[in-house]
Amino acid sequence: MKYFVYIIFLSICMFSCQDEKSIHAEKILKKWIDKEIIFPENLNFSIQGSERASNFTIRDSEFKIIAYVDSMGCTSCKLHLSEWNNYINNIDSIYPNKVQFLFFFFPKNGRDIYLTLRVERFVYPICIDTLDVLNKINHFPSDMQYQTFLLDKNNKVMAIGNPMQNPRIKELYWNIISGRQDSSMLDNQPLTTVSLSSSQIEMGNFSWEQKQEVEFEICNTGKIPLVINDVITSCGCITAKYVKKPLNPHETSKVKIIYKSERPERFDKTITVYCNASNAPLRVKVTGNAH
């Protein structure tokens, strides 16, 4: 299983990253695969950032997925709580009690994280680690894309990466949990070509309290159907809606971008479209000034 995970993970990195980033990912993988994550005693978990979940314990489940979020940058940009809700529901519906999800937040502003948890209605237990104890014990990578781990029953790392930020990582986790050891179905898709109506969208100036919506078009310019596997946003304050059915050759579909700021800011966000295009993933920059 270790060899399978190693090969699949490297194929993900080589497909989506430049050589320098692939080398960086390989070093992290070599260091962390099979490493045991140590959990400190007396961890306090809460639900929706308010009620103490006194009966919550870290159990001896077959798998654990732990997500650590540090205090650097915009915390809400890193959470993607609605996506995590859907992901957990999907796994629990097929493999009940097989995977335990553990969230550890080391927030820069405790008030902001509690508010975000309530607004997002995130109902799963989380640990607000104000002293950053978990990280100090384990010394997690500083790169946020390597601060999520899939663990075995002995709390040893089987795979690394945030499934909310890369559908191939999501598929890798799913394959390990389900016991599959074949190659990625996403990488085996036949490729087509696409064009975007715009690779950069400027929303202009607007009140930060107002929700903003824009659209861009994606056109299948190839000879086989285009399949959009996922659309990932760089921040929890921006979401994307799109039609999930395949696009036939020469067919066009719209992707709606919805931005809702939590505070006044000049923003620069990225929308990443994962699909079976030869130049995928596709990236669209969304900028503006919410004052």
CATH number at residue 39: 3.40.30.10
Max CA pair span of the chain: 58
CB atoms within 10 A of CB 274: 20
Number of domain units in the chain = 2
> Do 209 and 282 belong to one domain?
yes
Say which CATH number the domain at 226 has.
2.60.40.10
Instruction: Please report the pLDDT score of residue 10 as a whole number.
Output: 47
With respect to residue 189, please indicate whether it lies within any of the assigned structural domains. no
**In whole angstroms, what is the distance from residue 91 CA to residue 89 CA?**
6
The pLDDT value given to residue 13 = 53
Domain span including residue 251? 194-290
Q: Is the pLDDT score of 204 beyond 70?
A: yes
**237 shares a domain with 96:** no
Q: 93 in a domain, yes or no?
A: yes
Residues 6+ apart with CB under 8 A from 221: 192, 193, 194, 195, 249, 250
The set of residues, in sequence order, having a beta carbon less than 8 Å from that of 233 and lying 6+ positions away, is 80, 239, 240, 269, 270, 271, 272
Split at pLDDT 50, 70, 90, the class of 101 is: very high
Say which range, 36-50, 87-101, 126-140, 247-261, has the weakest mean pLDDT: 36-50
Residue ending a domain, choose from 178, 210, 227: 178
Highest mean pLDDT among 101-110, 175-184, 236-245: 236-245
User: What's this model's pTM, rounded to 2 decimal places?
Assistant: 0.71
Question: Does residue 165 or residue 17 have the better pLDDT?
Answer: 165
Q: What 3-state DSSP class applies to 17? A: coil
Compute the mean pLDDT over every residue in the chain, rounded to the nearest whole number: 82
pLDDT of residue 6: 45
DSSP character at residue 280: P
pLDDT of residue 59: 82
Say whether pLDDT at 14 is over 50: no
Query: 132 with 251, same domain?
Result: no
